[in-house]
Amino acid sequence: MLLPKKIIWVILFAYSIFSQSAYAKKLVIAHRGASGYLPEHTYSGAVMAHASGADFLELDVVMTKDGHLIVMHDLTLNATTNVEEVFPERKNEKGKYQVIDFSLNEIKLLKVHERSSRTGKNSAFPQRFPIGYQLFEVPTLNKMINLVKGLSKSTGRMMGLYIELKAPEFHRKKKMDPVLALLKLMNNHGFHEATDPVFIQSFDSNTLKKLRYQHKTRLRLIQLIGENRWKISSTDFTYLKSEKGMNEVAQYADGIGPWMNQLVTGIDFSGNAQITNLLKIVRQKDLIIHPYTFRADRLPSYVSSFDELLAVFFNEVDVDGIFTDFPDKVVCFLESNSTN
């Protein structure tokens, strides 16, 4: 008897997560793909993330003028594409090129390059892929999902999807609804249940509540935790980090994605991690914890190596998984430390 494609994917996902070894219990989430080696949010970066052994592929999504979901971290195109060369006259009064001002057909004319620095002149990560190489196209979410499905079929190893809705409040002000667009796409691909290989994440608590209470989604939801000073959402992150706030989060979300510095502030004189009270609060609510972002080329001051940083978070903090630009290095660490 032939099994439906949906059942085959669920079986592959369960096998890839639970039947390899003890380390597989800790999730390796490829942050924007294998972005330590290839430009972020590219089809090639997704393929490399899969080949590296990542359990999930993190994908940020924003909407085009004509309502398509594309895979892009920023609301603007400046930092990661050649938009200034292709559409020099389309910048706004602030010198920015907003994704929402371009149609999908126009987006398809662009090439993706390594992320530039805030000044826009040099690479944000000088040791990574050369910024002058413009070899990649801007992915749509639909095609990226098809790519991941194709890799799962051809290799027999599942890599799940970890999708962030970028700036839902901004989109709503523009009369666009990325929530509905995402749910429609998930439905088209057969993703409805908590057992499906999908997480949806957002910094905006109202969006996650809407997904859970209004749209009644059963997909797993993750509340990203930022800092109020970042001004990325009207969500009060200081409140969310409190016991009362985390009680509220536990009603609509399956876990949190905190900034790594919100869990660990350093190493004390005895060599032990200085772990914040947030960990205790979250564990009391039985929420999963997936902190961001672990980069081998941008270490916090309290460690001298990437492995040392991973040891702190996996062995002392005991997180359930991490977002990383270097999925291969994390997989290697976990394989070498089988207690994880």
Could you give the residue numbers annotated as active site?
31, 73
CA angle 27, 31, 33 (to 5 degrees): 105
Which among 149, 165, 139, 145 has a CA at the least distance from the CA of 257? 165
The two tokens of residue 149 are: 């499905």
CA 322/CA 129 separation, integer angstroms: 23
Write out the E strands in 175-229. Answer: 198-202, 220-225
Q: What are phi and psi of 76, to 5 degrees?
A: -115, 160
Distance CA 141, CA 58 (A): 11
| Closest to 302 in 3D by CA, of 328, 263, 257, 336 | 263
Q: Which helix (H) or strand (E) holds 205?
A: helix 205-209
Assign 28 to helix, strand or coil.
Answer: strand
How far from the centroid of its chain's Cα atoms is residue 227's Cα? 17
Ranges assigned E (strand) in 175-282? 198-202, 220-225, 255-258, 264-267, 273-275
Given the structure tokens 């749209």, which residue do they identify?
215
Q: Is 118 exposed, middle or buried (0-12, 13-18, 19+ CB in 10 A)?
A: exposed
* 335 class by beta-carbon count within 10 Å (0-12 exposed, 13-18 middle, 19+ buried): middle
DSSP tag of 178: H
In terms of DSSP H, where are the helices of 135-196? 141-155, 168-173, 178-188
Q: How far is CA 42 from CA 31, 118, 183, in A?
A: 12, 21, 22
For residue 240 the two structure tokens come to 């969310």
